[in-house]
A and B are shown apart, each in its own frame.
Chain A
Amino acid sequence: MSQRVVIDPITRIEGHLRVEIDVNENNVIGDALSSGTMIRGLEQILVGRDPRDAWAYVQRICGVCTTVHALASLRAVEDALDIRIPKNASLIRDIMNLTQYVHDHVVHFYHLHALDWVDVVSALSADPNETSQIAQSISSWPNSSPGYFRDVQNRLKSFVESGQLGIFSNAYWGHPAYKLPSAVNLLAVTHYLEALEWQKDIVKIHTIFGGKNPHPHYVVGGVASAIDINSDNAINTEKLNQVERLINKAIQVVEQMYIPDLMAIASFYKDWTYGKGIGNYMTFGDFAAPGKDIRDTDSYLFPSGVILNGDLSTVHEVSLTDPEHIQEFVDFTWLKYSDDKPGVGKHPWAGETTFDYTGPKSYKELDMTRPYTWNKAPRWKGHAVEVGPLARILVGYAKGVKEVKEVTDWAAGTLDVPLTALMSTLGRTAARGLETKLLVNRLKDTFNALVANIKAGDTVTFDKTKFDPSTWHRAGKTLQGVGWTEAPRGGLAHYIVIEDQKIKNYQAVVPSTWNASPRDLNGARGAYEAALIGTPMADPHQPLEVIRTIHSFDPCLACAVHLVDKEKREITQVNVIR
């Protein structure tokens, strides 16, 4: 007899996610369901608005990845209007995007994921001398004296003794799935606090170029912050120096704190091999060589492609515009299509998202055989796929990108595991670290390219030729565009249709929609669900193993579930690249 265990809310994620698992008599997960339980309706709100404003609305899809939806939106609008942004704008947007990655991944590792592997209470009994020795043996990070760790431990002790445990209360401390020695636990808790301090620093790069973080500002056609090295009111050397200092610090944090901690913790959990999931991986690609246009797909650090069944020998091509490639299904979703044909999907340009809530007003358990989520089920050529850091590393590896191969081989060698071991919960977490290592260096390269470009006399940041809507007229034609990026959580694509200078239709297909997908009529499950199946649990009512795997995806549910578009809209003309 299997029993149902419900975990709602899943905490330490963005948005509202519910997971239900069926556990058999041996406490192994036999089936799983993931349900996105919130919807806001942003796409309907966008209809009729000025396309130049879309970035600001869709940026509010997510306040964690705070900048990627804005970027995808700008690219979609600029695609539809055929705007090529100046080189400096490209560089500055990339710097902001890379800053986002580094910030987001470090925060994910320490603040959203580490407590699944690190026992805070065990850190209380650690020997600070031992922690210090370990710290110094794995890294040259400066804060590593025994006294330093003792101070942190004392602080932790007085915190625990106060009896008010705050964010640490009622968790899984002492759970048998925790494997770290107490000295390593203390190291990790210490860096939890250090990373908490540092993360508020690196985002200042957004503040300098975009005025604030979270939710920095953007503009269609380039960037709004002007460059003038002789002005006190523009991007000048003082501002550039600030940015450079923040980047150098970020490199130090990633290379001397994040990566050593990741490898140290992973080395104690090598036998935790669960969470492989679907084994199909997809990327849309991003990060053209510094200063190159997003359309220059050949120069991407992370190329696009699909890997099926873990087979790295073949990378399939993915097209965002081919209606056969990407389709969204709603058979297990609280949404409906007007033609109401079971098992028939729609490409985002023909997409519809009409509310059709068929669940109960309040519920104890959801029925896996009926609609159970607000999340759509996107498929690539009918296949459920996983997106995110692991997909980027695997596709990059399979396509032979030198930097990706090097860092991946280094990690597999250091941990002494085969490459295939990466296709797991732990591998997903490791892949996130590896790409951060690559991206923090790309951040520096991109900054250097910006300085060199300014030095060469180019200070242009904005192209105004098509900013005025009266320049968009193409008699009787509907303008249509797609903008994509590899967001921290995976491939992201925004689709826009513009008519009479207004938004006629807007659809966003976001990373967490792929990963948090419900099943389809062929019985294929989304990545979260598939990854949970087969995991043994020490105690099903202390679901530490479940949140380990779910957190390894870095869920973003407000992203996944944001749509609604009550009418079907006709799309008359296609005008896109690729």
Chain B
Amino acid sequence: MKETFYEYVQKRGISRKDFLKFCTAITAMMGLDASLTPKVVEALETKERIPVIYKHFQECTGCSESFIRTAHPVVADLILDMISLDYHDTLMAAAGHQAREAAHMTKEKYKGGYILACEGSIPLADGGIHSMVDGKTQLELFREYEKDCMAIIAYGSCAAFGNVQAAHPNPTQATPIYKLTNKPVINVPGCPPIAEVMAGVITHILTFGIPELDIRKRPKVFYRHRIHDNCQRRPFFDAGMFVESFDDEGAKLGWCLYKMGCKGPVTYNSCANMKWNEGTCWPVESGNPCLGCSEDNFWDFGPMFTTLAQVPGTNIIYNPDKVGAAVVGAAAAGVAVHAAATVVVEKMKKDKDTTTSVADQQNKGVSK
């Protein structure tokens, strides 16, 4: 019988009380109701540490950097105690054939029982020669580990959607993971994803199994809401009060960044509610417009600092300059925007999981 997570932490001298505290904390972190805590406890008491093989494909290692920033659970606990991170290019001690062997041993020992975490896309142009390890293409290496894994986590927008190297004209034919496999894939987009979201997905699998996914294979628990719907600048959007230039009076008072190019209205991510780096801040709060980094193809949305022309989810195209005029002039414009936004929210509520097509709609209008 293999050691369970609880047995493991017990050996480390962690008290029952601390273990329960930990369970409560991760339940909250996963956005679950406190009444589910006993389920978390039960899962951790009966489940062993899951082996994780974490592979780097076409990437910048930003996701791994984010991964090691997780505060809940504490990063060392995650890497050493909660999972068995048996292969990770950026962290593992062994190199070369010893490193490859480590992954191989896990694969053999835990057939059907390990998680394959992928960071980066896979290039398919010219037979895949644009990214190779050990003289093999990334596709060949992916196939080796995909076959026997329990599930695949596609960390970051590269693995989930192709991301920056897949932006027009996609010179290496960078391809997202889900297009290359029939295995269950959990997409965790973001460039990079929030650390606690990355850890949260693993914790979720550890405790409850694979989380419920939307049609883009994203865990609903972290990607259910638009940035725009949880944004603290939202009252200013509704009131038609917009920043017109970084550093103007509105910028200092925290008005809406829509006219500075904010993609919050078309972006599904946890930034506005979880914030970044232990809840310190997030792009829009800091005064920087959302770039939409968790959306498919966001690099081709058009110039970043230019206003979205269309209210997402509707066919209403409105002129943000008119909305801006509401600040000095007729308050009615602000009301109109509010009404439009409410329509959007209603629509979002109705077909939550099809809202991702908004991004596609947006992309169609992009010139390149």
Contacts and interface: CB of A to CB of B under 8 A. Distances in A.
Interface of A: 6-16, 18, 37-42, 44-45, 48-50, 52-53, 56-57, 60-64, 66, 111-112, 115, 120, 151, 154-155, 158-159, 161-162, 164-172, 193, 196-197, 199-200, 203-204, 206-215, 217-219, 221-228, 231-234, 242, 355, 357, 359-364, 374, 460-462, 464, 467, 541-543, 547, 558, 564, 566
A215 B174 CA distance: 21
A374 B280 CA distance: 39
Contacts of A66: 62, 65
A242 B280 CA distance: 10
Contacts of B11: 158, 161
Contacts of A231: 252-254
A564 B171 contact: yes
B62 A215 contact: yes
A204 B277 CA distance: 6
B61 A45 contact: no
Contact of B88 (A167, A171, A211): A167
Instruction: Determine which residue in B86, B277, B368 has the highest number of CB atoms from chain A within 10 A of its CB, and name it.
Output: B277
B286 interface: yes
B137 A362 contact: yes
Given A207-B286, A214-B65, A222-B247, A63 B130 contact: no
Nearest to B121: A40
B35 interface: no
B105 interface: yes
Secondary structure of the A side of the interface? loop
24 contacts: A7-B95, A11-B92, A15-B61, A38-B58, A39-B172, A40-B171, A166-B84, A167-B93, A169-B92, A170-B99, A197-B76, A200-B277, A200-B278, A211-B282, A211-B285, A211-B286, A218-B288, A224-B260, A227-B252, A233-B254, A355-B126, A467-B245, A547-B95, A566-B171
B93 A155 contact: no
Nearest to B7: A162
Contacts, number: 330
Given A225-B288, A233-B253, A462-B245, A166 B95 contact: no
A11 B94 contact: yes
B76 A196 contact: yes
Contact of A8 (B51, B90, B134, B191): B134
A359 B247 contact: no
Interface of B: 3, 8, 11-13, 49, 51, 56, 58-66, 68-71, 74-76, 79-81, 83-86, 88-102, 105, 123, 126-127, 129-137, 140, 163-165, 167-172, 174, 191-192, 195, 245-247, 251-254, 260, 271, 276-278, 280-289, 291, 293, 299, 303-306, 368
Contact of B12 (A111, A154, A541): A154
Contacts of A155: 12, 80
Contact of A212 (B76, B253, B283): B283
B74 to A, nearest CB: 7
Given A169-B92, A464-B247, 18 more contacts: A16-B132, A37-B131, A38-B131, A41-B130, A52-B304, A115-B93, A164-B51, A166-B84, A166-B85, A170-B98, A200-B195, A211-B286, A214-B62, A215-B62, A357-B129, A462-B246, A467-B245, A542-B98
A562 to B, nearest CB: 9
Nearest to A566: B171
Contact of B56 (A16, A40, A211, A543): A16
A223 B3 CA distance: 51
B200 to A, nearest CB: 15
Contact of B299 (A57, A226, A467): A57
A151 B14 CA distance: 11
Nearest to A365: B135
Contacts of A566: 171
Contact of B288 (A120, A154, A211, A221): A211
Contacts of B306: 50
A361 B91 contact: no
A91 to B, nearest CB: 14
Nearest to A40: B165
Nearest to A89: B247
A69 B168 CA distance: 20
Contacts of A232: 254
A361 B127 contact: yes
A204 B278 contact: yes
A353 to B, nearest CB: 10
Contacts of B100: 9
Contacts of B245: 462, 464, 467
B89 A11 contact: yes
A469 to B, nearest CB: 9
Nearest to B75: A196
Contacts of B74: 197
B368 A48 contact: yes
Contacts of A355: 126, 130, 171
A210 B288 contact: yes
A162 B49 contact: yes
A234 B66 contact: no
A160 B53 CA distance: 19
Given A11-B95, A164-B51, A213-B276, A45 B80 contact: no
